[in-house]
Homo-oligomer: A and B are copies of this chain.
Amino acid sequence: MSRPDRLTKIMQTLQDGRLHTAQELADAFAVSPRTIYRDMDDLMASGLPAKGARGIGYQAQPVTTLPSLHLTDEEIEVLNLGLAIVSEAADPDLRRAATSLGAKLETALPQHATLDAQTWAYAASSFGDSARGLSHMPTLRAAIRAKQKLRITYHSKGDRITSRIIRPLKLEHWARVWVLTAWCETRNDFREFRVDLIQSAQAQPQMFVDEVGKTLDDMPSPQA
């Protein structure tokens, strides 16, 4: 097995969340422990968030490798612009991810292409919760993909908070608001939810399958 192949395999192996000793990995790939130590050096140097304590072993959180890309200046601009917008999100998790992604890009790109703290400064916005809904995006998106039902609490008209079980179908960006299209099991009809008005979203254990009348294709198109 070639070295790149082995490095990939090691990464995948580490992402099971368990601890792996160098000796164990060496046996698994039929190389000497020395080679594993060298591999881990390289992996960590290239940013794999792996921890290794003496005598403990290695473990890593799930990561995806983005291979090297050639980007035009416009594409770099889009990258920075998108990052800047997301960085403004109120959700700590999202912001943390955006910050660490920004840091990685900053070290990876030549200076002229990176964010500049001065020119891209973000105001401590007094409308800090304007991007509040963004915090649910990963949950919603994952649920759409996995066809997993969701329980959401929603700030509907008239200041009432409602709780519903829905089948999430599609996320759309409409003007400046994200809209989640779903089949609402509580109302037994299609509904659209503004993401910024969703207070909480919890993936339910139940999955759903496409049923006639409840899929995106069955949705009546709005009249103009």
Against B, the Cβ 8 Å flags (1 = close, 0 = not) of A126-170 are: 110011001001100100110000000000000000000000001
Give bound CA distance, A120 to B61, whole Å: 26
Of B69, B72, B82, which one neighbours A108 at CB under 8 angstroms?
B69
Of B70, B94, B130, B170, which one neighbours A47 at CB under 8 angstroms?
B70
Q: B94 and A78: CB pair below 8 A?
A: yes
Against B, the Cβ 8 Å flags (1 = close, 0 = not) of A91-129 are: 001101110110011001110010010111111011100
Of B66, B145, B176, B216, which one neighbours A116 at CB under 8 angstroms?
B145
* Cβ contacts under 8 Å, A126 to chain B: 175
- A197 interface residue (CB < 8 Å to B): no
Q: A97 and B82: CB pair below 8 A?
A: no
* Cβ contacts under 8 Å, A223 to chain B: none
Q: Number of A residues whose C-beta is below 8 Å from B?
A: 71
Q: B113 and A64: CB pair below 8 A?
A: yes
- A84 interface residue (CB < 8 Å to B): yes
Q: B119 and A144: CB pair below 8 A?
A: yes
Q: B121 and A97: CB pair below 8 A?
A: no
Q: B122 and A97: CB pair below 8 A?
A: no
- A65 interface residue (CB < 8 Å to B): yes
Interface residues of A in 29-68 (CB under 8 A from B): 46-49, 61-68
Give bound CA distance, A88 to B78, whole Å: 11
- A83 interface residue (CB < 8 Å to B): yes
Q: B74 and A173: CB pair below 8 A?
A: no
* Cβ contacts under 8 Å, A141 to chain B: 77, 119-120
Q: A73 and B81: CB pair below 8 A?
A: no
14 inter-chain pairs at a CB distance below 8 angstroms, sorted by A residue, are A62-B73, A64-B72, A66-B69, A66-B105, A67-B68, A72-B100, A74-B93, A78-B97, A79-B82, A82-B83, A85-B173, A119-B141, A119-B145, A127-B174
> Top 6 A-B pairs ranked by shortest CB distance?
A82-B82, A127-B175, A74-B97, A75-B101, A47-B70, A119-B144
Q: Can you name 4 extra interface pairs (CB under 8 A) apart from A63-B71, A82-B85, A122-B172?
A: A49-B70, A71-B104, A74-B138, A85-B86
